Amino acid sequence: MTGRVALEGLAFHAYHGVYSHERDTGNNFQVDIAVETDFSQAALRDDLEGTVDYETLYRIVKDQMAQPSRLIETVAERIVNEVMEQLPTVIQVELTISKLHPPIGGECARAMVSIVRKR
């Protein structure tokens, strides 16, 4: 049995952006991440072993969001790569990073980048 483990609405103040003021003062970001994995044995045994620990997912996202980058595409790629490297039971990762109120010269709730990667 495969299923999804997901974290939605992770909030970070981070220093990603093309403009120097974005890297100096930072922006608010939201991250949603979901992974597909086979957790049938974990479900039967009621045991964390055999599934994806969402605390580990959070730590991966947090660590990568803390590394400033010009592009959120770069941050997204790093997060997906780390998930695939650290969590070998993951079959697929779906990730969306949203920059809230991006500086585009007009009103915008969020700019988003999404990645879906299968093993």
Rounded-to-integer distance, Cα 31 and Cα 93, Å: 13
State the pairing for strand pair 110-118/27-38: unpaired
Q: What pLDDT, in 10s, does the model give residues 88-104? A: 999 999 999 999 999 99
Q: Where are the alpha helices (DSSP H) in the chain?
A: 20-25, 40-45, 54-65, 72-86
State mean pLDDT over 75-97.
97
99 is catalytic: yes
More confident residue, 46 or 54: 54
Whether the predicted pLDDT of 51 surpasses 90: no
pLDDT, position 24: 92
Whether the predicted pLDDT of 75 surpasses 90: yes
Q: Name residue 13's amino acid.
A: H
pLDDT, position 44: 81
pLDDT, position 48: 80
State mean pLDDT over 71-95.
97
pLDDT, position 43: 83
Q: What pLDDT, in 10s, does the model give residues 17-49? A: 998 988 999 999 999 999 999 988 888 888 888
Mean pLDDT of the chain: 95
Q: Give the active site residue among 33, 35, 79, 99.
A: 99
Structural domains in the chain, sorted by start:
2-118 (3.30.1130.10)
